[in-house]
């Protein structure tokens, strides 16, 4: 078995863009416990009031699988272990596990701690011994171990032996700078195992983009514990990504990690932690990202529909993900047929509309349209091509005014539109609406005016929200006359959808994407 040690709340919180509140820490802990990790490092109680408060609060929850761990350092130089405030705060946290780090690199001992090599060994031994007398499990993080071993192998091993002899339950070898190459990880661990007998763990940082590979190499050599963070969050370039390590351990290496039936929650946990951290999920992340099992090239799609293993290294469902077929100018008929089936439209390679849709798609993308992030617009395109689209409203005209008032030092936008709104199955039965609305920008004003015009006829649009708005300049060399692509993400209580518009005029491109968003929602209501 490989024990999964999560340090998202401590090491992950050191990421430049991450800050967890006390409530955030509790919620993440409960989710990690649901996933089935073995240890959750909650922070350093001796370093700040929030982490100390976390350990007090988490005592009120009964965790089903995980044990919480408090983190700290060895005693200070010249201070007895039983009088060191840092060690005392670790004991006061009353967690079932305590993890402390100590120096393995002679450079750090001399330059950072400013103590002798022998004093450092005493600090390690005394600290672990004191904690072991007061805490059930004690783990020792050998900080900078691989750099230390390269500098002075004999001394680095002595630091491990000091912790082991004091009773440490596991010795975790740390690649703290993240610069060690995988073959050096393998060589050093092999040599260490020849020099001492003790349970080993691995803790890698990602500064060389090797944290996952180095962690798996260590596990392959017998490491019993692996430390990392959800989504690889961490200082500088991050920590080893547990969202890649956990499935690799269980699906590729055939080892026991978290309970097998909980592996399907991995993508859910990944997105949950990203949401709590207020970070957009990385769509290209292996295993759990939106693009991890997305297929775009026509030849790939044709093959994967026949045998998924042709272009999928594992089943997406195993980690809670799904296969996605994308549409673009690289698409073939198989892409179109597969996407149409998702919309409830049965097409075959011999259906005449398929060729027309493919031709239209390639032409639209040559003009700058992109449907990978605007699948709602693509669904409308298919429905128009197959006769399954009925216009719900038609634009008669719009006007957008942007005014800046010097005396108020603010800019106001106003949009006026005239639309023909369907009152039945077609625009033959319709009403004309003429409305105006203000907004905090021209696009927002136009959006408000459109909603105002159609809301009285379609109250189901009340819950529709504009979630994201992106503008991409397609031919930057043209300056202010350049063509732009607007991508809009909208959503309601039932889900999210993306739409696209393209024009030399950003307002016109935005209008096109807005109309698709509203029409998609209304058509979805009718199907």
**Each residue of 73-102: pLDDT tens digit?**
999 999 999 999 999 999 999 999 999 999
Averaged pLDDT for residues 2-10: 98
The predicted structure's pLDDT at residue 480: 65
CA 217 to chain centre: 24
CA distances (Å), origin 514, targets 4, 322, 392, 496: 46, 28, 14, 14
Highest CATH level, class, for 393-457: alpha beta
End-to-end CA, the chain: 49
Split at pLDDT 50, 70, 90, the class of 61 is very high
CATH number for domain 367-383+465-527, candidates 3.30.1490.190, 3.30.70.920, 3.30.160.340, 3.60.15.10:
3.30.160.340
Query: For residue range 365-377, what is the model confidence (pLDDT) as tens digits?
Result: 788 887 766 888 8
- Give the best-scoring range by mean pLDDT among 156-170, 267-281, 329-343: 156-170
What percent of the chain shows pLDDT beyond 70?
93
- Residues facing residue 140 across a β-bridge: 100, 171
The predicted structure's pLDDT at residue 409: 78
Residue 331 has pLDDT above 60, yes or no: no
Q: Are strands 410-422 and 430-439 parallel, antiparallel or unpaired?
A: antiparallel
Please tell me if the domain spanning 367-383+465-527 has the same topology as the one spanning 393-457: yes
The predicted structure's pLDDT at residue 522: 84
The predicted structure's pLDDT at residue 527: 58
Contact predicate 288/243, CB 8 Å: yes
Enumerate the domain spans of the chain: 3-276, 294-366, 367-383+465-527, 393-457
Averaged pLDDT for residues 298-319: 79
Please write down the HEC assignment for all residues of 324-389.
EECCCCCCCHHHHHHHHHHCCCCCCCCCHHHHHHHHHHHHHHHCCCCCCCCHHHHHHHHHHHCCCC
The predicted structure's pLDDT at residue 430: 63
The predicted structure's pLDDT at residue 258: 97
Backbone angles phi, psi at 490, to 5 degrees: -120, 165
**Can you list the positions of beta strands (E) in 18-60?**
39-43
The predicted structure's pLDDT at residue 471: 87
> How far apart, in whole angstroms, are the C-alpha atoms of residue 288 and residue 229?
14
422 CB contacts (<8 Å, ≥6 apart)?
390, 391, 392, 393, 429, 430, 457
pTM above 0.85, yes or no: no
- Give the best-scoring range by mean pLDDT among 98-107, 440-449, 456-465: 98-107
Could you tell me the CATH superfamily of domain 3-276?
Answer: Aldolase class I (3.20.20.70)
Nearest one of 27, 19, 25 to 42, comparing CA atoms = 25
Split at pLDDT 50, 70, 90, the class of 310 is confident
CA distances (Å), origin 116, targets 74, 110, 129, 399: 15, 7, 20, 77
Residue 429 has pLDDT above 60, yes or no: no
For 59-73, 154-168, 393-407, which range has the lowest pLDDT when averaged over its residues?
393-407
Supply the mean pLDDT for the chain: 89
Find the farthest-apart pair of alpha carbons in the chain and give their distance in angstroms, rounded.
92
DSSP 400: E
What percent of the chain shows pLDDT beyond 90?
58
Looking at per-residue confidence, does 222 or 426 come out higher? Answer: 222
Q: At what angle do helices 333-342 and 352-366 cross, to 10 degrees?
A: 100
Contact predicate 44/72, CB 8 Å: yes
């Amino acid at each position: 078995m490989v024990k999964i040690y999560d340090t998202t709340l401590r090491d992950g919180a050191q990421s430049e863009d991450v800050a967890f509140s006390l409530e955030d820490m509790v919620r993440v802990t409960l989710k990690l416990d649901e996933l089935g990790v073995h240890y959750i490092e909650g922070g350093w109680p001796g370093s700040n009031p929030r982490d100390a408060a976390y350990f007090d609060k988490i005592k009120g929850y009964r965790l089903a699988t995980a044990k919480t761990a408090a983190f700290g350092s060895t005693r200070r130089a010249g201070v007895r272990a039983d009088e060191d405030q840092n060690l005392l705060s670790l004991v006061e946290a009353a967690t079932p596990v305590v993890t402390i780090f100590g120096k393995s690199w002679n450079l750090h001992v001399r330059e950072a701690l400013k103590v002798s090599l022998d004093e450092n060994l005493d600090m390690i031994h005394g600290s672990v011994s004191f904690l072991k007398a007061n805490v059930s499990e004690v783990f020792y993080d050998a900080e900078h171990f691989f750099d230390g071993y390269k500098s002075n192998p004999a001394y680095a091993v002595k630091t491990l032996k000091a912790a082991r002899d004091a009773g440490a339950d596991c010795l975790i070898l740390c690649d703290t700078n993240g610069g060690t190459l995988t073959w050096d990880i393998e060589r050093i661990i092999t040599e260490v195992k020849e020099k001492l007998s003790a349970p080993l763990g691995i803790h890698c940082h990602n500064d060389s983009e090797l944290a996952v590979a180095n962690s798996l190499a260590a596990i392959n050599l017998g490491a019993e514990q692996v430390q990392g963070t959800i989504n690889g969050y961490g200082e500088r370039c991050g920590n080893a990504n547990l969202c890649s390590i956990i499935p690799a351990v269980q699906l590729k290496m055939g080892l026991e990690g978290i309970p097998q039936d909980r592996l399907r929650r991995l993508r859910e946990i990944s997105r949950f932690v990203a949401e709590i951290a207020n970070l957009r999920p990385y769509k290209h992340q292996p295993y759990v990202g939106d693009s991890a099992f997305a297929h775009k090239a026509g030849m790939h799609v044709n093959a994967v529909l026949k045998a998924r293993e042709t272009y999928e290294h594992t089943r997406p469902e195993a980690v809670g993900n799904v296969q996605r077929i994308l549409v673009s100018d690289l698409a073939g008929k198989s892409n179109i047929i597969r996407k149409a089936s998702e919309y409830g439209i049965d097409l075959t390679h011999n259906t005449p509309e398929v060729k027309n849709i493919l031709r239209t798609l390639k032409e639209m993308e040559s003009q700058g349209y992109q449907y990978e992030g605007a699948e709602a617009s693509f669904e409308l395109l298919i429905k128009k091509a197959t006769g399954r689209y009925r216009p719900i409203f038609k634009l008669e005209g719009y006007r957008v005014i942007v005014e800046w008032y010097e005396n108020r030092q603010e800019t106001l936008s106003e949009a006026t539109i005239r639309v023909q709104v369907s009152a039945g199955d077609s625009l033959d039965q319709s009403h004309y609406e003429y409305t105006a609305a203000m907004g905090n920008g021209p696009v927002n004003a136009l959006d408000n005016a459109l909603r105002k015009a159609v809301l009285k006829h379609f109250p189901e649009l009340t819950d529709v929200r504009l979630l994201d708005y992106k503008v991409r300049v397609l031919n930057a060399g043209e300056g202010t006359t350049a063509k732009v692509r607007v991508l809009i993400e909208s959503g309601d209580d039932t889900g999210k959808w993306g739409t696209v518009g393209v024009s030399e005029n950003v307002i016109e491109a935005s209008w096109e994407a807005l109309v698709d968003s509203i029409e998609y929602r209304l058509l979805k209501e009718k199907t």
